[in-house]
């Protein structure tokens, strides 16, 4: 690493919270969530130089999704999304290292708290905690190759592509010395649940022109708009981005019950009780008849 890089990194450290704020020419607008939480994701991690975008890219993504909405029915058990597309270019395929593609799907964000247990007076209790302002409820990254080889750190933080960077921001006062174990634990726990996933090499790219990615959505999805992004990379730099939304919502009985529970909670509560009492009485009557017979 050259001296100039080190100097630039130092400069960005000093700049602090304005790091992710983009200025100057940009082919891609900054996302809403980025504007809402302009702080660099994890204060425990080293800051990196955030590069500027290049001029109009020579290669562009054209893509489609197998379905732009996912309906959660009573028998919903996860869903498979196929993302396919092609690279549009006016000139022949450039020489040098091959084109790389990264596909991400990001679910709606939630505020959450990560707790760490500690031994106090012989028992294990929750002691230290870190509050995270907004972490996606679901986040999947699919790539054509190992993420750390095809994507440079600067571009990663520019677009918040890798898992640690997808956690938006820290909320409130940070009471722990080192936040990294907490964010790592969050990612580990959610990876175990299938909510966060990194699938390196799962995007198939043919002749640097046609690609497809299959991403499976787990059964424990929350409702909302899921954002799909397709990144086109050369030499570790992002040269184009394609975005498309996927709407995830409950339908039919699921939707009706959900709305009733939140809009008319008293009626919903009484209904739950009625079901319980009726079932209890019904079983009692049925068994009495069975015993008599």
Partner 1 sequence: MQIFLPIAEVSVNAFTLIGLGGIVGLMSGLFGVGGGFLITPLLFFIGIPPPIAVATGANQVVASSVSGVLAHVKRKTVDFRMGGVLLAGGLVGSWLGVFVFTILQSLGQVDLVVQLCYVVFLGLIGGMMLQESIRALRRSRNPVHRKRLHQHNWVHRWPLKMKFRASGLYISAIPVLLVGVAVGILAAIMGVGGGFIMVPAMIYLLGMPTKVVVGTSLFQITFVTAFTTLMHAVSYNTVDIMLAVLLIVGGVVGAQIGTTLGARLRAEQLRILLALLVLLVCGKLALDLFLRPDELFSITTGVR
Provide DSSP, 88-154: EESSPPPSSSPPEEEEEEE--EEEEEEEEEEEETTEEEEEEEEEEEEEES-EEEEESS-HHHHS-HH
Q: CA–CA separation, 166 vs 240, rounded Å?
A: 19
SS3 content of the chain, % helix, strand, coil (to 5): 30, 35, 35
The alpha carbon of residue 124 and the mean position of all alpha carbons in its chain are separated, in whole angstroms, by 31
How many residues line the site for partner 1 (CB under 8 A)? 63
C-beta of 95 vs 263, nearer to partner 1: 263
C-beta of 13 vs 283, nearer to partner 1: 283
Alpha carbon of 282 to those of 276, 285, 286: distances in Å?
Answer: 10, 5, 6
Which residue among 281, 289, 292, 293 contacts partner 1 (CB under 8 A)? 281
Sort strands 100-106 and 237-250 into parallel, antiparallel or unpaired.
unpaired
Q: First CA to last CA across the chain, in angstroms? A: 87
C-beta of 206 vs 262, nearer to partner 1: 262
Residue 271 sits in the site that holds partner 1 (CB under 8 A) = yes
C-beta of 210 vs 285, nearer to partner 1: 285
Stretch that binds partner 1, among 19-27, 39-47, 55-63, 69-77 (CB under 8 A): 69-77
Which residue among 10, 13, 62, 253 contacts partner 1 (CB under 8 A)? 253
Sort strands 139-143 and 100-106 into parallel, antiparallel or unpaired.
antiparallel
DSSP structure class, residue 236: T
Residue 88 sits in the site that holds partner 1 (CB under 8 A) = no
Stretch that binds partner 1, among 41-49, 117-125, 140-148, 205-213 (CB under 8 A): 117-125
Q: CA–CA separation, 254 vs 262, rounded Å?
A: 13
Q: CA–CA separation, 255 vs 248, rounded Å?
A: 12
C-beta of 15 vs 219, nearer to partner 1: 219
Residue 84 sits in the site that holds partner 1 (CB under 8 A) = no
Closest by Cα among 140, 129, 172 to 39 = 172
Residue 225 sits in the site that holds partner 1 (CB under 8 A) = no
The contact pattern for partner 1, residues 125-154, with x = CB under 8 A and - = no contact, is xx----------------------------
**Least Cβ distance, residue 246 to partner 1 (angstroms):** 17
Residue 14 sits in the site that holds partner 1 (CB under 8 A) = no
C-beta of 76 vs 84, nearer to partner 1: 76
The contact pattern for partner 1, residues 158-197, with x = CB under 8 A and - = no contact, is -----------------------xx--xx-xxx-------
Q: CA–CA separation, 160 vs 151, rounded Å?
A: 11
Stretch that binds partner 1, among 28-36, 72-80, 205-213, 230-238 (CB under 8 A): 72-80
Q: Which residues bind partner 1 (CB under 8 A)?
A: 72-78, 110-119, 122-126, 181-182, 185-186, 188-190, 219-223, 250, 253-255, 257-258, 261-262, 265-266, 268-273, 275-277, 279-285, 287-288, 291
């Amino acid at each position: 690493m050259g001296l100039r890089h080190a100097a630039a990194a130092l400069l960005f450290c000093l700049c602090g919270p304005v790091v992710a704020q983009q200025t100057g020419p940009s082919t891609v607008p900054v996302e809403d969530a980025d504007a809402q939480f302009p702080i660099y994701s994890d204060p425990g991690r080293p800051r990196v130089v955030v590069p500027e975008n290049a001029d109009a890219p020579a290669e562009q993504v054209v893509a489609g999704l197998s379905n732009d909405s996912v309906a959660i029915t009573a028998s919903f058990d996860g869903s498979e999304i196929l993302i396919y597309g092609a690279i549009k270019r006016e000139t022949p395929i450039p020489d040098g290292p091959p084109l790389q593609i990264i596909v991400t799907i990001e679910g709606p964000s939630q505020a959450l708290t990560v707790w760490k247990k500690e031994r106090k007076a012989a028992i294990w209790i929750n002691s230290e905690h870190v509050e995270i302002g907004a972490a996606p409820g679901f986040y999947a990254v699919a790539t054509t190759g190992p993420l750390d080889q095809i994507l440079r750190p600067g571009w990663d933080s520019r677009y918040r592509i890798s898992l640690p960077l997808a956690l938006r921001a820290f909320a409130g006062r940070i009471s722990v010395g080192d936040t990294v174990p907490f964010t790592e634990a969050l990612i580990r726990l959610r990876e175990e649940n299938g909510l966060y996933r990194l699938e390196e090499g799962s995007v198939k790219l043919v002749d640097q022109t046609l690609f497809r990615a299959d991403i499976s959505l787990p059964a424990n999805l929350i409702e909302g708009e899921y954002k799909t992004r397709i990144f086109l990379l050369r030499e570790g730099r992002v040269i184009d981005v394609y975005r498309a939304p996927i709407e995830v919502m409950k339908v039919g009985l699921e939707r009706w019950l959900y709305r009733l529970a939140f809009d008319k909670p008293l009626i919903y509560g009484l209904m739950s009780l009625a079901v319980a009492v009726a079932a209890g009485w019904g079983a009692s009557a049925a068994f009495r008849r069975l015993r008599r017979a």
